[in-house]
A and B are shown apart, each in its own frame.
Chain A
Amino acid sequence: MKNSGKSIHNSISDSVFKIINYTFLFICFMIVIFPLMNVVSTSLSSPKAVAAGKVWIWPVEPSLVAYEKILGNKQIWTGFYNSFFYTFFGTLINVILTIMAAYPLSRKDFFGRQAIISIFVFTMMFSGGMIPTYLLIKDLGLINTRWAMIIPNALTVWNVMLARTFFQNTIPVELYEASELDGASDTVIITKVVIPLSAPILAVLTLFYAVGHWNSYFNALLYLKSQELMPLQVVLRNFMSSVNLIQNMLGPITKEQAELISLVDVMKYAIIVFASIPVIILYPFVQKHFVKGVMIGSIKG
């Protein structure tokens, strides 16, 4: 009797929980999606409707005028090409170097493993700092070259540790022993055994590095000077701030100027969307791997 009373009480309390829980998740969903919808919808609305503050979650008076303007801008395409270049070659070098570091460090019979791991890990805790690194890049003659966007970030120690944990946990030692008995050398083991078994970690590494390159701003700010080399993030930033400046300087304005200003405002939204497109397209495919990557990282190797 007592038990059944309790379970009725519980089923009410559990139903209350479920209602609260789904409401909470709905609120979280809205908090994240609403600003994004607003940005996308504004970029697709007419400048007039935007200036009148009519756009909330859906486009008002749909118009592609802002996209036509930005897609006709040469700087944007240069930035897009540059970002693509840095992302592609940067990621390629990243993944190769990461595997080259992670595989030897995952072999327990690799003499000197602990010492080398310490050398790697210490760099996560201490660094020479922004200025000495800048001076090194300068002394190497990399300032204002495409290499400056690739070399200073060629390897992330955290990702090395991630790949190392993956190798240790997924590739059985017996496999190495068997291959060695067959006379396979280490280079053969890497190319014929390790790489074919590593699709998940290769996906995770590619994802982490590629998103990092595509989104990076800091290195361009530090190491690049010429406009032709700038990645899309810098082009976007310059566009956002230069237009703000014009707006602030104008003072009293005519009707034409006001129209121009609202068009430029919508163009800002459009360029935000444009710069995010590659990540948005890839996102559904990479999401799964991304979660996996964070999970591997949370297991101590």
Chain B
Amino acid sequence: MNNNMAKGVNRKSAWVKIKKHWQLYFVILIPLSYIIIFKYIPMLGAQIAFKNYNIGKGIWGSPWVGFKHFIDFFRSYEFKRLIINTAGLSVYQTLAGFVPPIILAVSLNYAENRVIRKTVQMVTYMPYFISTVILVSIMFQLLSINGMVNQVVKAIIGEPIQFLGEPKWFKTIYVWSGIWQTTGYNAIIYLAALAGIDQTLYEAAIVDGASIWKRIWYIDIPGILPTAIILLIMSTARILEVGFEKVYLLQNNMNIQSSDVISTYVYRVGLVSMQYSYSSAIGLFQSVISLIMLTLVNAVARKVSETSLW
């Protein structure tokens, strides 16, 4: 505050600014306290990862054990499987989900018929609003022995496939149902990027006699590439973050070998088996890796494209 005051007559001092907008501090106090209580206190609570949590003694009173739980986790039988499943699922998801929204956006962008364009847009966004429980329920039904998919499978190979009962199908089912659900939504961002391209580029290209294919290749693709790269880089930061709900809901004893990811394991060990400290350590390990990855990836993004999150 003193520093600000010393900066001279032209700049209002901090105190004057605070006084002028004192009401705003009251307004923001409520959401700010909310964030502190419900987001920052759990961060302090994460110290139980370094303790042996004891319900009687509470978070602060439980005895310290250092990195014991982390070491136990790294040495455990599940560690390798969880990392492979989690990273495998998110890499598969990122790679397979990268191109479809771009193609859909470019395709919609060149659909001159307004009715067709609006209809396809409206229908392809729709799955995004379907809840995970409903999506998974639909998949249960369509992939069941008597479901729509197996009617086709039976016609082709003679017998139905137990899609949700075999570990080898899990990742494919997870990823492609996700693509079905989110491609329309993800295309919106690319449509915005396409709308931002300078129109004179197209006019010049048409004068020069460039076909639509060439315009896509030389104008549209370069125009949306920065957006695409940022989205791609950002998703690599989330390599150890796979949404809990859908994996949990698709998981069963038969496919768990390939469907067990960090978040579902934390839930099982922590809330079902009540090993609070051990599961907090695993969760904290995941959060820290994600934070490090995000910081690194943001630095790379800034270098590559002058666009970054912060």
Contact = CB atoms under 8 A, between A and B. Distances in A.
Interface of A: 3, 6-7, 9-10, 13-14, 17-18, 21-22, 24-25, 28-29, 31-33, 35-36, 38-39, 42, 51, 53, 56, 97-98, 100-101, 103-105, 107, 109-112, 116, 119-121, 123, 125-136, 151-152, 154-155, 157, 160, 185-187, 190, 211, 214-218, 221-222, 233-234, 236-237, 240, 244, 265, 268-269, 272, 275-276, 279, 283-284, 287, 290-291, 294-295, 298, 300
A28 B120 contact: yes
B197 interface: no
Which of B28, B40, B287 is packed against the most chain A CB atoms within 10 Å? B28
How would you classify the secondary structure of chain B's contact residues: helix, strand, loop or mixed? helix
Interface of B: 14, 17-18, 20-21, 23-25, 27-28, 30-32, 34-46, 48, 59, 103-104, 107-108, 110-113, 116-117, 119-120, 122-127, 129-134, 137-138, 140-142, 146, 148, 151, 180, 183-185, 188-189, 192-193, 209-213, 227, 244-245, 248-249, 263, 266-267, 270-271, 276, 279-280, 283-284, 286-288, 290-291, 294, 307, 310
Contacts of B193: 298
B283 A131 contact: yes
Contact of B209 (A6, A17, A218, A279): A6
Consensus secondary structure, chain A interface: helix
A294 B188 contact: yes
A154 B38 contact: yes
Contact of B32 (A22, A119, A136): A119
21 contacts: A13-B211, A28-B124, A32-B123, A98-B31, A112-B18, A123-B40, A130-B266, A130-B270, A132-B42, A132-B45, A135-B48, A185-B23, A215-B133, A217-B131, A234-B133, A240-B137, A265-B141, A268-B140, A275-B134, A294-B192, A300-B307
B21 A111 contact: yes
A9 to B, nearest CB: 8
B180 A279 contact: no
Q: Report which residue of B17, B137, B280 has the largest number of chain A beta carbons within 10 angstroms of its beta carbon.
A: B137
- The 7 tightest CB contacts between A and B, nearest first, are A128-B42, A129-B283, A215-B131, A132-B45, A101-B31, A186-B23, A132-B42
A295 B249 contact: no
A214 B27 contact: no
A275 B286 CA distance: 34
A128 B46 contact: yes
